[in-house]
Amino acid sequence: MSNLNRKISVAPMMDCTDRHDRYFLRLISKNVMLYTEMVATGSVINGDRKKILGFDNFEKPLALQLGGSNKKELAECVKIAEDYGYDEINLNLGCPSKKVQKNKFGACLIKEPDLVHECLDTMKRNTCLPVTAKTRIGFDDTEDFDYLNNFIKKIKSANVKTIILHARKAILKGLSPKENLKIPKLNYQMVYEIKKCNPELEIIINGGITSIEGIKKQLDYVDGVMIGRAIYQNPYLLADIEKKIFQNQAVLSREEVIQNLIDYVKSEVKKGTRVNQIMRHTVGLYHGQKGSSKWKRYLSDNMMARDSDFKKVEHILNVVQNNEKIQMVN
């Protein structure tokens, strides 16, 4: 296993965990592991690499998640990722979308353990970075421990030492990716059994974990917890994670987070980034707090249009400060 701390990580989420969201999340948490959105190997090789792979060093530690099953392409991509300075490369074996299946990567690869082994082995041989895998506990009508354990052993035989398990199976036909996050039932026990049978592996559990209490419970059975939607909807949950899981009390207040983010927005606007591309990720900052509706309304009215005026960003501190006063009164 690598020296990276994967005790808590934020899941790769399409259209969510872009570089702006990751910068925002890193302002709240110093210790969580962050992941990019899934990037297809073809995009890495043929696309605008700076736009697709570029990141701020402030985001680190940071893993690149790849989608693909072409060994030659994967070999090229891990070399590129290493040159860009990523800390880890993760292979997506869990996305159930039709588009992903059509291109033969994601969850459909659970049906092809030999190919998965070859892909991961090729990746390992072409980089010094840690290579990890993220997968699900089954697919369609297959939710069988022996099948999953044999699949895990195939991954392990490629010298992969860290596996992230989403504790739901993937329904490859008939459900959308969004429905695949809710409809298949969670089966945490199967993940626990995988850890018991493979104690030398670092097993990270993912799926349906939304609270500090839930995190602590999972850490009794596995090595780490990956959280996705709960963080995107309530990013300041990371502050509690810092304090109660990492025992780090030096956490920025919401106001301080926004003060720092404004400096980032100023810098990015000069490079051509639109205000809404950054501020859309902050909608949930006051999730569950008094003043949340005012925050969301201000963002909706002033920050979400493609042509949002940067000058209005500077006024946002007034909204934040008013919200902070409300919290103190209550």
Residues designated as active site: 95
DSSP string, 219-244: TTTSSEEEE-HHHHH-TTHHHHHHHH
Residue 211 identity (one-letter amino acid)? S
- Residue 132, Cβ density class (10 Å: 0-12 exposed, 13-18 middle, ≥19 buried): buried
How far, in Å, CA of 57 to CA of 88, rounded?
14
Question: From the DSSP assignment, how many helices (H) and strands (E) are in the chain?
Answer: 15, 8
What values do phi and psi take at 292, rounded to 5?
A: -60, -40
> CA 139, 141, 146, 151: dihedral to nearest 10 degrees?
-20
DSSP assigned state of 107: G
What is the gyration radius of the CA atoms in the chain, in angstroms?
Answer: 20
DSSP string, 46-102: HS-HHHHH---GGG-SEEEEEE---HHHHHHHHHHHHHHT-SEEEEEE----HHHHH
What values do phi and psi take at 21, rounded to 5?
A: -65, -40
